[in-house]
Amino acid sequence: MLKSHPKRVLIAMGSNASNDLKESHDLLVDALKSLTNEFITNVNISRFYKTPAFPAESGPDFINCVLSGKTYLSPEHLLNKMHLIEEDFGRTRMKRWGQRTLDIDLLDFDNNVIPSGIYVNKWLNMPLDMQKIKIPDQLILPHPRIQDRPFVLIPLGDVSPKWKHPIFNKTSQEMLNELAPELSIGISCFA
């Protein structure tokens, strides 16, 4: 049996476990080890960024990063592994976009559009008030909110500046340039 070729993945991670940013940073570092020790290779990790919680007033500041790497897992299997790691680090899904110990999002899987362009476009065009209450019932790739989130686009540019969104055909920097500048206020490197 021939082994398949590894697929390129982009993954965003964040934590606002507490008001202690160092605690959130350390938790992310440990979660990165769990993720990359088991099933992701050729890993490149962005700088860590302190970012205001989104939506505003939804909790303490986050520490965010993005990683690129390779995996032999399917997108669904990788997502399941990511959810298990979130649970291992105390993640509970009580409130959509609320405070969380760990959030791991699969941003892109080898530039695939999953499950279909029509379904992804439905989520891309969903108004913000609906995004806050609706939860997808299946994996959507690319992640339908990449283009709206400077806290993802900035670290994404660190690890994969030439990557282009498979629907918009734009780099992270091009998408970031299209956002209102005030959306990036408060985002800074975390030392």
Q: How many Å apart are CA 156 and CA 161, to the nearest integer? A: 7
Determine the average pLDDT of the residues in 136-160: 95
Confidence at 89, pLDDT banded by 50, 70, 90 = confident
Nearest Cα neighbor of 65 from 37, 45, 90 is 45
| Sequence-distant contacts of 89-97: CB under 8 A, at least 24 apart | 89/27, 89/30, 89/31, 90/17, 96/132, 96/133, 96/135, 97/54, 97/55, 97/58, 97/132
**For the chain, what percent of residues have pLDDT higher than 90?**
68
How many other C-beta atoms lie within 10 A of the C-beta of residue 104? 24
Q: 7-189 — its CATH code?
A: 3.30.70.560
82 is written with which tokens? 């990511």
Helices of type H across the chain: 21-38, 75-88, 117-124, 128-131, 150-159, 172-177
132: pLDDT strictly greater than 80: no
**Domain definitions of the chain by residue range:** 7-189
- pLDDT at 70 (0 to 100): 97
7: pLDDT strictly greater than 70: yes
146 is written with which tokens? 């990449």
**Residue that wins the pLDDT comparison between 94 and 18:** 18
